[in-house]
Amino acid sequence: DSIPFLKEREEIVSSKYIGDKYITLTLRDNGYSPTRNSSQTDIDEFTKFASEINSIPVIIPDDVNKLSEYSFSDNVLIYEKARISMSHRILIYSMSNMNIFPPSGPFYVSLFLKNTKSLMYNIGVNWEDDEPLAARRVYGYDLGDQPYLNLNGRLIWHALNPRFTAKDLMKVFNSLD
């Protein structure tokens, strides 16, 4: 059973950017709760941040058919295989200098990988007045809390910082081990 996984690992390791410094942004283009979705501004600030830390920006798409709705600079790499292969996704996250996510499940994959820096932004963007109470009851944390610091992960709360900038990403990057 491990042979297909090893073959995929070999394929990823031999790809041109694995030997280089890179960071990832996982896009979200989902019909459910679209206010959580990625934006062109997210991509632009991510790309600017990657340049500031001399890293290659790698995009993990959500819906490859919606990539044409975005504009990408020439230095951005789109890694479509990570969309369909969980082993590719895990490996690309595990070797990245930082992984950035809108509210979505893949954040939790990165969070539990050894030696990764993980950031989820836009937390609480679609909360109604009573949802912070529900979050406290269900998850045990409140607006502004950072429950994932011990796992080298941070949250950017929408109510406190509606749109991240490259400067915000730099602060998070420098604050994590």
pLDDT of res. 6: 47
**pLDDT of residue 169 exceeding 90:** yes
Bigger pLDDT: 141 or 86?
Answer: 86
pLDDT of res. 24: 97
Alpha carbon of residue 37 to chain centroid: 12
Bigger pLDDT: 161 or 142?
Answer: 161
Look up the pTM and report it: 0.87
- How many angstroms separate the CA atoms of 67 and 42, rounded? 14
pLDDT of res. 19: 57
Place of tokens 């994590």: 176
Summarize pLDDT for 33-72 with one digit per residue, the tens: 778 889 999 999 999 999 999 999 999 999 999 999 999 9
- How many angstroms separate the CA atoms of 10 and 34, rounded? 36
Average pLDDT, integer, range 73-90: 91
- How many angstroms separate the CA atoms of 48 and 142, rounded? 30
pLDDT of res. 130: 53
pLDDT of res. 37: 86
Under DSSP, the state recorded for 130 is: T
3-class secondary-structure state, position 107: helix
Average pLDDT, integer, range 126-135: 64
